[in-house]
Amino acid sequence: MHDKFLKLAISEAKKGLNEGGIPIGSVLVHNGKILGQGHNKRVQDSSVVLHGEMDALENAGRQPATIYKESVIYTTLSPCPMCSGAILLYGIPKVVVGENKTFLGAEAHLRANGVEVIVLNNEECMTMMTDFIEHSPELWNEDIGV
């Protein structure tokens, strides 16, 4: 099951890259149904908050708290503190991470607050981010606040 939704998150990340943005994608899933999907749009929309997870949540629209509490969010990269905060705020109990080698986000904070974090170390996710960081270090550093 993880493969299907991670592939969709990877597809979202590639959309972002093709749009001139940062290749991070995410998908919010409830009981096997996609509620929302998105990708990092900081560059495209000149946004300070539209990371992949935030875009997926935005595209899912308003949901009852009970829906979030039964959902899983898939992301191609370890969630940053901002995205982890949104995950905690809405009570999403599980995060499936494509990879955390190129960037280790706030996974410890998520775990400390009861969120199950599964890291797949997907080769395609790692290669995509490694290549991006190598070719666009200034954009990457801006995205992570360096």
Instruction: Using alpha carbons, select from 101, 92, 50 the residue that is nearest to residue 74.
Output: 92
Both structure tokens of 15? 């959309």
Look up residue 40 and give its amino acid.
N
In the residue annotation, 53 being an active-site residue is answered as: yes
Both structure tokens of 86? 């949104």
**Distance separating alpha carbons of residues 75 and 12, to the nearest angstrom:** 10
**Which entry of 12, 19, 53, 138 is annotated as an active-site residue?**
53
Q: How big is the chain, counted in residues?
A: 146
Both structure tokens of 21? 């943005």
Do 10 and 77 touch, CB atoms closer than 8 A? no
Instruction: Using alpha carbons, select from 89, 49, 83 the residue that is nearest to residue 69.
Output: 89
Active site residues: 53
